[in-house]
Amino acid sequence: MTARISSPSSAPVRQSSVRAHNLALVLNTVANSADPPSRAAVAAATGLTRATVSALVDDLIEGGLLIELDPPPRTGAGRPAAGLALTSAGPAGLGCEINVDYLAACVVDLTGTVRQRFTEHADQRPAGAAGALAALGRLAARARLAAEADGLVVAGATLAVPGLVSPAGLVRVAPNLGWQEVDAPAQLRAVPELADLPLAVDNEANLAALGELRVAGGDPTFLYVSGEIGIGAGLVIDGELYRGVRGWSGEIGHLTVFPDGRPCRCGATGCLEQYAGQEALAAGEPLAAAALGIALSAVVNLLDVPVIVLGGAYGPYFDRLRDGIETQLRRRVLTAGLAPVTVRAARLGADAAVRGAADAVIRRVRDDPAAWLRRVG
């Protein structure tokens, strides 16, 4: 008899993966500490033995991910222990962003600090995908060279685009740029200074949501709404971005708010984008707040999301929109009386997507430091 095993639920735990897991655990324990912890404090927080922690910490220092700070001078009894911290001189992430009216590149170090930031404001539609990506490649190359002159090692790059991206990084459609089926990674890799970098592509609202997650502190679950010419959304659940089965979640701009309403460039009628996109806001659209409130009520009814963050171009309009949105939420969310929904402005403003893109690189290093140690070892 032959057994056909269809889908075992998960992989077995082996010793090699235990080390990788524990390296990440130690690194993130240091990263999430309010003050630089001693090796003993890391051992206490993780439940690992002090000997295990010390060996892992030595590997992380050796690999350029952690540093040991001198103990502060103290007058009490006993010698204070040295504290551990993420290094600001190790691996860094390169974030690149293309949007309808600007290009951006930035470099963020392992501690989350922005070390380089370049922006070019210009309408990207006339140049087409090839022209725009070539210009972005030049900007990104400048950011990388400046970061490396500053002692950083760029570990990889992530590109943010306002469109639907396939798992392989192909931009299937970016309606407001007029792009279809653009192989963005191939075009960026054609820039010699970027050819060797691991490169990912993602939707700009997804990356902006990740950027906001990094700075937001207390909100592990929120919907980030990115108001640009189009409107996108990134859904963060328990600190993780939810992407949908094909990576195409978050198309909040095409939620129907008025079924018999204005025609949209997507072919449907009454889409949110027609009432609360950047162009409608600039024209003083009176239905903007109500339309946003109706669409956001749908999100909360469906997903029980406690926090809504308005970002991108919504920043300057936030105070004007807030009351109208909250009125709809109170009226249309079934659980409005049981649990509050907070609506707030994004903390990162227009930089959220490019910072989230750089941060995505850093996060891969932090989630799997063993892979980084193998790369530099």
Residues 206-245 that bind a copy of itself (CB under 8 A): 221, 233, 235, 237, 242-245
Burial class of residue 296, CB neighbours in 10 A (0-12, 13-18, 19+): buried
Count of residues touching a copy of itself (by CB under 8 A)? 87
Around Cβ 190, how many Cβ atoms within 10 Å? Answer: 13
| 299 is a contact residue toward a copy of itself (CB under 8 A) | yes
Bridge partners (DSSP) listed for residue 37: none
Instruction: Report in angstroms how near the CB of residue 340 gets to a copy of itself at its nearest.
Output: 11
Q: 316-345: which residues touch a copy of itself (CB under 8 A)?
A: 331-335, 338-339
* 8 Å CB contact between 244 and 252: no
CB of 168 to a copy of itself, least distance (A): 14
Distance CA 166, CA 188 (A): 16
Q: Is 63 helix (H, G, I), strand (E, B) or coil?
A: coil
> Using the rule CB under 8 A, is 124 a contact of a copy of itself?
no
Task: Provide the minimum distance between the beta carbon of 156 and a copy of itself in the complex, in angstroms, as a whole number.
Answer: 21
Q: Whole-angstrom Cα distance, residue 303 to residue 341?
A: 12
- Encode 307-330: b = buried (16+ Cβ within 10 Å), e = exposed: bbbbbbbbbebbeebbebbbebbe
Provide the minimum distance between the beta carbon of 90 and a copy of itself in the complex, in angstroms, as a whole number.
19
| 250 vs 311, beta carbon nearer a copy of itself | 250
Question: By CB under 8 A, which span of 89-97, 100-108, 249-257, 357-365 interacts with a copy of itself?
Answer: 249-257
Instruction: Report how far apart the first and last C-alpha atoms of the chain are (Å, whole number).
Output: 47
Q: Which of 116, 203, 206, 297 binds a copy of itself (CB under 8 A)?
A: 297
> What string marks each residue from 138 to 157 as x (binds a copy of itself by CB under 8 A) or -?
--------------------
Choose the binding region for a copy of itself from 23-31, 146-154, 185-193, 310-318 (rule: CB under 8 A): 23-31
Which is nearer to a copy of itself, 103 or 174 (by Cβ)? 174
Collapsing DSSP states into helix, strand and coil, what is residue 283? coil
Which is nearest to 321 in space by CA: 349, 362, 286, 359?
A: 286
